[in-house]
Structure 1
């Protein structure tokens, strides 16, 4: 036993949140069926002027399940979803579970990665947009042995025809591939046999973003997903039917659990806007009046930089959370100054089925006085988060080491990867690869990824620390810091920044700004100003892309 096992963070929680031990083990399908009973014809999805009710979704997903079973889909088979944030994503997800299947959510920006994932997961069926099937999915799905394909259009259900979203979207129906909505409507309300799912069955094979190598499939069980969505419901204590806004992509574990499944758990409508376009998001917030939103820090930066931004558009929100990308303290304060809303930090991985550390609703995250790093939160009541050394032993408060997680949200394995499972999930504990520390009250701080550490003349430099300083500069919108080869020092610190609209700054001034606030060896020796930093679809800045731009 160590001090982590005593869970000192529990003293910081309100009593209602401590009731997490009362959450029963259940499947995501059980959760949806409960929502149908609670909400009835109430809205399940609102999409740019169109609406689907819970009872309607129930009937349509019966139709999808019936079609899959008619075509030889069996319990445990995998169905890949390659869609943006549209209602058909929700229909395909629930329909697959009703057929006893496992969903493989795919990033719709994937190209060559598709072949690897479709083959690695042994995908039987796929749902994608019409245009994606014709452009890039059809040939790759055929090569990977996918037997069942359904397409759908992002223009269906919605009524806005917003040029900002759909300017380049056209109909591209294939004669050989059925339409998901047509299939569902023809068979709506069909009698489907009980798939017999259990909480320990795999619900998703969620592929990691690949920021640290070839994507691996994390096997998120139904219990993993429903425990975390129930925790968020307890955390937020919102009434049934309160609208949830989908800022993060649904294929990402943050969007899947913190938005879609949390909305289902609340029997609430999920607000979808196809994809992230700042002006569209701002209009939808004002029109739909959601009470809860979660997304990456980069999305909040983009919203604040938009010319139509105003604090009034966020008036209905009772909870604003960040996840999926590091949250600089300067962004939290700038957002609060402009909107009056505090962004609560959170931390999780695909392997923890979204959050395992979150700032509770009644608290604000402290900032470490030594490094200026914002705490990511307190461990969830049912999780044990610890900091371990290179020898695997628990470290004391404030000592820096690797973050490890135990709890019911941790996946049991990687799909068909026993060696990777043994390495990252020994005995069921997740070794995250993130470096951080915990204070005596249980607040957790992330320093950086182990592999991103810069070694400059033997000195350790964590990119996050330098990035947090750059974010304090009034001209900087986004920042990424990487190590570049240096013949004398081994590595040297380089920074890439994009600027806020209407601002200018000299790169030498940014170097000096960092030198005034950091040890000399931590300050970047080279700064490059770019129009936009490359990101994953979940909003995480891709440092590896910046490393490729390093001088030889």
Structure 2
């Protein structure tokens, strides 16, 4: 039998820590042996149905054991796997299939049926998985230009104008080994999980399994529930986005989380006042982490989180992080430039058009499209975004995708999406639209239209009708 290295991680964990808790979720506790046993059964059934090397398969499930076993089972067939959010709407799934050409999707019935047809129902201990084939011929190999592709992720968290990033089994192993040199997790740790697994899996869930850490899945964002699950399972690491950190910082109770050793904020920049408020409430520093789909977790702020909580941190062992000029040469410390990264676990290729990473790198650096600076001792601070991507509660929104939905409405001539600050969520989506001559719209009807076609975090919360939108000299939409 061919060995698939990512799947072997779960198998090895079951051998090394068979009775150790792997997951705590709504169904209770599940050991590594139990997780492997169920994943292995699902893997065998998928192979029996016809899922195999050379295929692409989507896995859609709720946070918890079903998502974890679904991902491991799928990657253990030799297929390349795309983690998918149960929040995705039909139109978004159709876009994914158009770009990624997946052969099949499995889901745990958490959300509406992702495909028009269900070819097989696979019973499991807690519920069942549905499998549907997409119609892509199995003779059409998925990403044949990558050796042992393990995962594909779109840089926006969905599809559309974003790039499909392909990461091989070898690259996954390299990046989680590198990441844990900074995280230092082991079988004595329990990670409190509040983020969507569909958007955070490779350098988190797989890493925790690899090093024997338990995963306690919070059922929602409410501060009291996060505090409760942390104390119930003696959590040692809270891995969250700024929105959860803010909710906890604003908690008016008195309960502490004494077992926590580390609190890491990821997905977006966190405000200094939130870090200070969190420390005042829980006597714990918040450390920022800089993760990126193309290379993993190269930057982490553990040692200077007290003095500089706004900084993303230092290059982790094995990584080179530099601030570059327009010719991709390193700038002196203190100057602002493009953030470039070299190191282990680099992505293997972009999907469309097929582009190997070696053709993307500049002088060996992956250019992140962020502007940053570096102090004399190597502390990295992100100074601003050079892309238009918007972060909503740790999830990424590409304005072009939302604008395309708005511009499907006949009365709307042009749309522009931006974000504005929100005291709880950090940012919310706003839309400006130019109407065709003589046209009229009902704002609430338009907002409802968007909610039916977009995931909740992408749908505009506000809409303003304007006479015109600013354009650049080359005729492109000018953004804020």
Say if 2:240 is the partner of 1:304: no
Contact 1:236 1:319 in 2 (8 A): no
3-state SS of 2:273 partner? helix
Once the two structures are TM-superposed, the CA of residue 434 in structure 1 deviates from its matched residue by 0.7
- Find the counterpart in structure 1 of residue 197 from structure 2: 250
- Find the counterpart in structure 2 of residue 281 from structure 1: 226
Q: Distance in 2 between the 1:348 and 1:138 partners?
A: 31
Contact 1:36 1:267 in 2 (8 A): no
Structure having the higher strand fraction is 2
3-state SS of 1:123 partner? coil
Say if 2:12 is the partner of 1:40: no
3-state SS of 2:111 partner? helix
Once the two structures are TM-superposed, the CA of residue 365 in structure 1 deviates from its matched residue by 6.1
CA pair 36-119 structure 1, distance change in 2 beyond 3 A:
same
Question: Of 67, 79, 102, which residue of structure 2 is paired with 1:101?
Answer: 79
- Find the counterpart in structure 1 of residue 323 from structure 2: 387
CA pair 108-130 structure 1, distance change in 2 beyond 3 A:
closer
Q: Distance in 2 between the 1:342 and 1:97 partners?
A: 36
Say if 2:341 is the partner of 1:364: no
Residue deviations 1:284-342, cap 9 Å, x none? 122121111211111111233345x5451x22111111111111221111111110111
CA pair 43-200 structure 1, distance change in 2 beyond 3 A:
farther
3-state SS of 2:281 partner? helix
Once the two structures are TM-superposed, the CA of residue 63 in structure 1 deviates from its matched residue by 1.2
Question: Of 48, 54, 68, which residue of structure 2 is paired with 1:90?
Answer: 68
Question: Of 357, 379, 390, which residue of structure 2 is paired with 1:443?
Answer: 379
- Find the counterpart in structure 2 of residue 15 from structure 1: none
CA pair 64-212 structure 1, distance change in 2 beyond 3 A:
closer
CA pair 550-235 structure 1, distance change in 2 beyond 3 A:
farther
Once the two structures are TM-superposed, the CA of residue 500 in structure 1 deviates from its matched residue by 6.7
Say if 2:277 is the partner of 1:334: yes
Question: Of 158, 161, 175, which residue of structure 2 is paired with 1:214?
Answer: 161
3-state SS of 1:138 partner? coil
Q: Distance in 2 between the 1:45 and 1:225 partners?
A: 21
Once the two structures are TM-superposed, the CA of residue 418 in structure 1 deviates from its matched residue by 3.4
Moved more, 32-41 or 269-278: 269-278
- Find the counterpart in structure 2 of residue 17 from structure 1: none
Q: Distance in 1 between the 2:98 and 2:123 partners?
A: 23
Structure 1 vs Structure 2 CA RMSD: 3.7
Q: Distance in 2 between the 1:338 and 1:325 partners?
A: 22
CA pair 381-150 structure 1, distance change in 2 beyond 3 A:
farther
1:379-528 alignment runs, 5 A limit: 379-418=315-354, 424-426=360-362, 429-452=365-388, 496-499=420-423
TM-score normalised to structure 2 length: 0.73
Q: Distance in 2 between the 1:427 and 1:113 partners?
A: 36
3-state SS of 1:347 partner? strand
Once the two structures are TM-superposed, the CA of residue 236 in structure 1 deviates from its matched residue by 3.8
Once the two structures are TM-superposed, the CA of residue 279 in structure 1 deviates from its matched residue by 3.9
Question: Of 12, 35, 39, which residue of structure 2 is paired with 1:61?
Answer: 39
Q: Distance in 2 between the 1:550 and 1:306 partners?
A: 38
Residue deviations 1:341-377, cap 9 Å, x none? 1111110211123x111013x443654xxxxx82110
- Find the counterpart in structure 2 of residue 264 from structure 1: 209
TM-score normalised to structure 1 length: 0.64
3-state SS of 1:132 partner? coil
Structure having the higher helix fraction is 1
1:188-203 alignment runs, 5 A limit: 201-203=148-150
Contact 1:359 1:365 in 2 (8 A): no
Q: Distance in 1 between the 2:465 and 2:259 partners?
A: 45
- Find the counterpart in structure 1 of residue 111 from structure 2: 132
Once the two structures are TM-superposed, the CA of residue 122 in structure 1 deviates from its matched residue by 1.9
Q: Distance in 1 between the 2:212 and 2:313 partners?
A: 27
CA pair 233-444 structure 1, distance change in 2 beyond 3 A:
same
Once the two structures are TM-superposed, the CA of residue 32 in structure 1 deviates from its matched residue by 2.1
Once the two structures are TM-superposed, the CA of residue 422 in structure 1 deviates from its matched residue by 7.8
User: Gapped runs of 5+ residues in structure 2?
Assistant: 133-145, 392-398, 400-417, 426-449, 451-456, 468-480
Once the two structures are TM-superposed, the CA of residue 58 in structure 1 deviates from its matched residue by 1.7
- Find the counterpart in structure 2 of residue 224 from structure 1: 171
1:111-122 alignment runs, 5 A limit: 111=89, 112-122=91-101
Once the two structures are TM-superposed, the CA of residue 91 in structure 1 deviates from its matched residue by 0.7
Q: Distance in 1 between the 2:27 and 2:47 partners?
A: 32
Contact 2:45 2:122 in 1 (8 A): no
CA pair 151-428 structure 1, distance change in 2 beyond 3 A:
farther
Contact 2:348 2:356 in 1 (8 A): no
